[in-house]
Structure 1
Amino acid sequence: MYNQQQAAIANRPERKPRQALTVKVDNSDNERPGNEHIRELLRTFGLRTSLIRLKVIDALHMADRSGRSIGVRGVHSQLEQLDVPLSFLSVREVLKRLCVEGVISMGNDKCYSLNPEARSILEQSCPR
């Protein structure tokens, strides 16, 4: 069976590692310091920062820290519990895009988990 996500991953160009960006953050503005580790992850993978990406990656990171992977429904229900008004379809599309970009991977059980590179970026800059 043809798997569109795996075909996209196989055909994407090799990403050159970037040097870590030094970002000076002025937290007195609208910037939220708790998300900086996720923002750094998105910058490393060349992705724009959006609220939905921040929330989805945070949910996956929390699951990863507890040693589990979660599916679309798990991510969506976790966001609903936090009163984040995102549709199921939006969450699914963000997960697909993060998969294609190599930030996360989908297992045979249709659950998502952070890739080792993404995990190490979050662990290096993540406040515990």
Structure 2
Amino acid sequence: MYNSPMPTDGKPAPQGVSLGQEVTVFGKPVERHSNERIRQLLKSFGLRTSLIRLKVIDALLSAAQNDHPLGVRGVHNHLLELDIPLSFLSVREVLKRLCSEGVIVLKPDKSYSLHPQAAAVLQRLD
């Protein structure tokens, strides 16, 4: 079925969101650049991008910036605070998979952090 364009009253039709503009969702700025970096990181390790992987890695990066180590429960709670309803088991399985692929490491205190090689990839992407 054909959808005719809406009339524009002589103004050019918007062509999408410009990357130079700040996009807001529910009054909060969306960090598009951060997700793109994480997408490239996953791609460099040969992994597909998924919402849960993006969110888990983003939680670990946020925790590292605040010098606050996160374990499985901490990552799960962080995601729940962001209204991302994922089960504890799903978060644990994603963390295990990211560990097995070398993206993150499990420290002796049972907290997770980026593997030094993954951190180097992110540095190159900046």
Residue pairs, 1:17-96, within 5 angstroms: 28=17, 33-34=32-33, 35-96=35-96
- In structure 1, the gaps of 5 or more residues are 1-26
* CA–CA separation in structure 2 for the residues paired with 1:45 and 1:75: 21
- Deviations along 1:84-123, one digit per CA (max 9) or x if unpaired, are 0110000000000000000000011111111111112223
What is the TM-score when the length of structure 1 is the normalising length? 0.70
Indicate the larger mover: 43-52 or 115-124.
115-124
Residue 113 of structure 1 aligns to a residue in which SS? strand
* CA–CA separation in structure 2 for the residues paired with 1:100 and 1:69: 19
Residue 105 of structure 1 aligns to a residue in which SS? strand
List structure 1 runs of 4+ shifted beyond 6 angstroms: none
- Deviations along 1:10-59, one digit per CA (max 9) or x if unpaired, are xxxxxxxxxxxxxxxxx75xxx8331000000000000000000000000
* CA–CA separation in structure 2 for the residues paired with 1:85 and 1:124: 32
State the match for 2:119 in structure 1.
119
Residue 47 of structure 1 aligns to a residue in which SS? coil
Identity of aligned residues (%): 61
* CA–CA separation in structure 2 for the residues paired with 1:45 and 1:105: 14
Structure number, greater radius of gyration: 2
Residue 69 of structure 1 aligns to a residue in which SS? coil
What is the TM-score when the length of structure 2 is the normalising length? 0.71
Q: Which has the higher contact order (CA 8 A, sep 6+)?
A: 1
Given the alignment of the two structures, is residue 98 of structure 1 paired with residue 98 of structure 2, yes or no? yes
